[in-house]
Amino acid sequence: MKLKIETLTADAFADFGQVIDTEICTNQFAINGGTTQRFHDLAEVETIGEARGGISIFRGDARQFPMQIEMLERHPKGSQAFMPLQQRPYLVVVAPALNDEEPDLSRLRLFYATGAQGVNYFTGTWHHPLLALEEVSDFLVVDRIGEGHNCDEFFFPEGSDIQIAAMSFEGV
């Protein structure tokens, strides 16, 4: 199965998390004596249990296509946000839950995020690890720092054959 690529919009992503994008911000106001526009609270940092938010940088390899998608992960105790730091696009793969333990592979979604768009996965959203495009790329990441198990991995059954096709992502 080849995943169909979709434009990343707030509505399309609403079940999985928030899109961090000034273009779709509905709460914008001037601060600092009018020298700065604040696009306010585009994403919520959630941390469950004894924990806090932390800021990291992920440096992701550029992926090669066609690419087999073989697993997803989720963070049961906190949100996780990604924001590109070099204005380069990337891919986002998510799935709703089938039950408490696994994602619904029949409802996988593939989004094309522009270099001006971040995503914030809700706590527990099944998603694929970072899929940078073009070249090695840095992303600011905001996620939970604390004790306790905060990463589940789900490896697809043998023979699943779920693929991101070799394609130009331009003009998506």
Binding pattern to a copy of itself, positions 106-125, x when CB under 8 A? ----------x-x-x-----
User: By C-beta, is 5 or 25 nearer to a copy of itself?
Assistant: 25
Query: Which of 49, 66, 129, 148 forms a contact with a copy of itself (CB under 8 A)?
Result: 129
Integer angstrom CA distances of residue 65 from 61, 91, 126, 159: 13, 12, 22, 18
**Candidates 2-10, 45-53, 88-96, 101-109; binding stretch for a copy of itself (CB under 8 A):** 45-53
- Phi then psi for residue 33, to 5 deg, are 65, 25
31 binds a copy of itself (CB under 8 A): yes
63 binds a copy of itself (CB under 8 A): yes
Integer angstrom CA distances of residue 94 from 58, 108, 146: 19, 6, 24
- Report residue 172 as tokens: 């998506």
